[in-house]
Structure 1
Amino acid sequence: MHHLFTPVASVPVDTRTALVHEEGWQSWSPSGSYALGDKPYRPTNDNWATVCYRPGVTVPEGAFQGEGLLALDSGDGSPVRLWAAVEPTRAVPSIRLVVDGDTAEVSADGPVKEWTGATIQSVLGDWAEGLRLSAPRPAPTVWCSWYEYFTAVTEDDIHENLRAMDTLDLPVDVVQIDDGYQKALGDWLTLSGRFRSRAGIADAIRARGRRAGIWTAPFLVDPASDLAAEHPEWLVRDTDGGFTHAGRNWGHDLRVLDTTHPDAAAYLTEVFRTLRAEGYDYFKVDFLYAGALDGVRHDGDGGDDGDAAALTAYRSGIELIRQAIGDDAYLLGCGAPLLASIGLFDAMRVSPDTAPHRRPEADDHSQPGQDPAEFTGAGRQWQHGRLWINDPDCLMARPAVETREQWAAHVEATGGLMASSDRLLSLDEWGVATTRRLLSGGAR
């Protein structure tokens, strides 16, 4: 599975001024540049290691490690060097850097190719341009329910904000219903008690000249869901015959839908075809790391090629969703293994979640907070317009949000997907003006 690390390069460095860029595994994995004396951000517990970092990978103390991409500015005026996965959508080697005296020793556990450039961001950008992807479509502007209502969102909350968009004259293209409308993870077409009709609310959104958007976590299954009870054979297993564990969230353990099982694939297709037929044409698909976890799947042995098989299963699962929603629908990924996602999405979350507060829980930089979202969002600015439209996460401009001015400035500076996530009637004058300005700018 994870192979031996073999030497790739020895590079002289000025230890006072050199910088190393680590690229994290997925949306929420810390990514960015460090001085050689810095301690890079690492998981503070096993659960977050699974949910927010590359599962099964422990980086030794004193080492820097990028997943598929690692860049070094040696600090002595020589060109920046980047080591990159040769076939990023098929295999994502871990690339490691250890400093020995005034030399950086670089090694990798799979094939990498070297690039050189002027700066860390520019050489990463050159690498992305070398993939020759077509330019991403501009993103619509969005209002999202999550950061005000979280899982307690009701249909009435959506109606209230829909009216407020008109009253406040906010240029919102898409009204996106987030987590909370569904009965359970996996039971996407069964409503929670807080919603009356999914098609009805889509009609109401569209009647006001806006587009309807919806959130799912397509590869996650709650063990207490009807799906888990009725179709255990649709879940990815571990090599001991139990279920593959996708971490713990929402207060319970999570399982993984096996999209290589024909019936599970048919179910997922039905979910997205149904939502599309109901009028939804903007899809935020979240917690996508689950679809790339190692395990025993229906169409493979999950043996020694576990990594490659998991990435293939992941990509085919996303392709299934794209076929069901159609080419014209807008697809935003989140919590996604980034290099394995190249070529599949219109927009991509490039950082951990933001929050109404600056600091992350337990000082883990994969956890919600403005600091981690800004650090990794800035570190991945090179992806914007090349791999996809970057999603820096939602603007929150209400008075209750700490350092809201600084957060708004970060979101605006990215030029990426612009989304508001406040109860609009709770905005003060500054909040309304800022929200209107950012949404009017749109993705550049």
Structure 2
Amino acid sequence: MSHSFTPVASVPVDARTARVHEEGWQSWSPSGAYALGDQPYRPTNDNWATVCYRPGVTVPHGTFQGEGLLALDPGDGSAARLWAAVDPTREVPSIRLAVTGDLAEISADGPVKEWTGTDIQEALRAWAASLEVAPPRPAPTVWCSWYEYFTQVTEDDIHENLRAMDTLDLPVDVVQIDDGYQKALGDWLTLSGRFRSRRGIADAIRARGRRAGIWTAPFLVDPASDLAAEHPDWLVKAPTRSDGGFLHAGRNWGHDLSVLDTTHPEAAAYLTDVFRTLRAEGYDYFKVDFLYAGALEGVRHSDANPLTAYRQGIELIREAIGEDAYLLGCGAPILPSIGLFDAMRVSPDTAPHRRPEADDHSQPGQDPAEFTGAARQWQHGRFWINDPDCLMARPAVETRERWAAHVEATGGLMASSDRLLSLDPWGVETTRRLLGGAR
């Protein structure tokens, strides 16, 4: 894509009351409406720019920028205007707005079309409806291990919470094992020392009348994994190959990350085998995370552009798990994912605390999750079921009442992520009510 911006529109605005909606690149990228005098949220370091924003894209100071989508309420009583990618699953131009005096100048580095609405949210909803995406299936209710145990989850933790669901009479459809069961990113079928049998635990979950779910980050590879050591040709190469280096997908879990090249036939066959195996073991709910990596610019086995390679990778996963399995995307490029998922995380991670520990609104915290989650409510029921991230109702969670109210207000995917025996009466009642209301 060219990065030269051409003028699209010039719109008179009332600088005191006008609002601009920026659509961020992926799940964790801040998205929302700003006054013209606001400073929009931007990455605070190069790593977060890669992991949580649109990599390689910088925005001039004093400029608003949406990735494939930007909307303006001029503030003077006239209609809201929206500019969007012509075909958002294939090409996602950056769209900029800069204010000069009482004029908003809109420009883009690719083709866009314009929509109008009575206000920004109405314009967003109208544009979403115009894409005619099939309505999503209702979401199951979920218990997820992440926000209590993080990467240290054990098989015994899953069994304890499975028993507690019965004891506390919680309406949980899916018990989802999150990050920590696997030996390494990429080595999905090799267990960490904390788990004995993936099939055994799926059997135990299903024996109690619930469904088994599992987390993967299918496009990420730990450079220290067996996969990276044995199949370096399966990894996406850096665009500048003078050193023969691999594409760097940022740093997390304390180490650098590589990217699986799903356009390589053998890598595609491996990923297909991973998901067919998990499905055969009894898992039918799949959270696929850190999906931004599949859409990064790099040198792949085929000459498919990054967005085509990304969509083909997700379609490969869907084919392996079957149409009846439930697929939740996270850390995913938003517009290129239209039509691929049952549910989608539409915000940064939440956390047991309100504000991100880093001064970056893409980082975990209830405030960033609320800001972007509320701003993307227009996507719910039109592209997918929105996932606002998990309910945490245990006493140790800051402002747990406010966070529960946000999760409930979205009407989206309802997932609990507490050690259930740590819940007090308020926590049990709130978890039961939110999960029960989702049915």
Q: TM-score, normalised by structure 2?
A: 0.99
Q: Which amino acid aligns with 2:253?
A: W
| Aligned position for 2:215 | 215
Number of the residue aligned with 1:51: 51
Give a deviation string over 1:274-316, Cα, whole Å, max 9, x none: 000000000000000000000000011xxxxxxx700000000
Q: Does the alignment pair 1:245 with 2:248?
A: yes
Q: Could you tell me which amino acid in structure 2 is paired with residue 204 of structure 1? A: A
What is the alpha-carbon distance in structure 1 between the residues aligned to residue 89 and residue 245 of structure 2?
A: 28
CA distance in 2, matches of 1:120, 1:438: 29
Instruction: Tell me the distance in 2 between the aligned counterparts of 1:342 and 1:60.
Output: 28
- Say whether 1:297 aligns with 2:293: no
Q: Which residue of 2 aligns with 1:343?
A: 339
SS in 2 for 1:229: helix
Task: Summarize deviations over 1:68-117 as a string: whole Å, max 9, x none.
Answer: 00000000000000000000000000000000011000000000000000
Query: Aligned AA for 2:272?
Result: T
1:326-365 matched pairs, under 5 angstroms: 326-365=322-361
Partner of 1:380: 376
Candidates 413, 416, 437, aligned match of 2:412: 416
Amino acid at match of 1:292: A
Superposition misfits of 4+ residues, deviation over 4 angstroms: none
| Partner of residue 22, structure 2 | 22
Cα deviation per residue 1:124-176 (whole Å; 9 max; x = unaligned)?
11111101111000000000000000000000000000000000000000000
Are 1:369 and 2:368 matched, yes or no?
A: no
Instruction: Provide the rounded CA distance (Å) in 2 between the counterparts of 1:381 and 1:290.
Output: 25
Paired position in structure 1 for 2:91 = 91
Does residue 104 of structure 2 align to residue 104 of structure 1?
yes
Q: Which amino acid aligns with 2:256?
A: D
Q: Distance in 1 between matches of 2:291 and 2:427?
A: 32
Q: CA deviation at 1:362?
A: 2.0
Count of aligned positions: 436
In structure 2, the residue matched to 1:13 is 13
CA distance in structure 2 between the partners assigned to 1:119 and 1:346 by the alignment: 28
Can you list the C-alpha shifts for 1:393-438, whole angstroms capped at 9, x where unaligned? 0000000000000000000000000000000000000000000000
Structure 1 position 266 matched with structure 2 position 266: no
Give secondary structure in 1 for the equivalent of 2:95.
Answer: strand
Q: In structure 1, what is the Cα distance between the partners aligned to 2:2 and 2:392?
A: 40
Give the secondary-structure state (helix, strand or coil) at the position aligned to 2:408: helix
User: What is the Cα deviation at residue 361 of structure 1?
Assistant: 2.1
Indicate the residue corresponding to 1:119 in structure 2. 119
- Say which SS state the counterpart of residue 58 (structure 1) adopts: coil
Gaps of 5+ in 2: none
- Partners of 1:120 and 1:328 in 2: how far apart? 35
TM superposition shift of 1:363: 1.4
Are 2:308 and 1:312 equivalent residues in the alignment?
yes
Unaligned runs of 5+ in 1: 301-307
Task: For 2:122, give the aligned amino acid.
Answer: S
Q: Secondary structure at the match of 2:65?
A: strand
What letter matches 2:57 in structure 1? V
Give me the whole-angstrom Cα distance separating, in 2, the residues matched to 1:120 and 1:246: 34
- d(CA) in 1 for partners of 2:211, 2:48: 34
After TM superposition, give the deviation of residue 249 of structure 1 in Å. Answer: 0.1
Amino acid paired to 1:439: L
Between the aligned residues of both structures, percent identity stands at 87
1:53-72 per-position Cα deviation (integer Å, ceiling 9, x unaligned): 00000000000000000000
**Partner of residue 258, structure 2:** 255
Secondary structure in structure 2 of the residue aligned to 1:362? coil
TM-score (norm 1): 0.98
- Distance of 1:441 and 1:131 partners within structure 2: 29
- Counterparts of 1:68-79 in structure 2, within 5 Å, are 68-79=68-79
Counterpart in 1 of 2:403?
407
SS of the residue corresponding to residue 114 of structure 1 reads strand
| Aligned counterparts of 2:154 and 2:314: Cα–Cα separation in 1 | 28
1:27-46 mapped onto 2 (5 Å cutoff): 27-46=27-46
Q: Distance in 2 between matches of 1:124 and 1:298?
A: 37
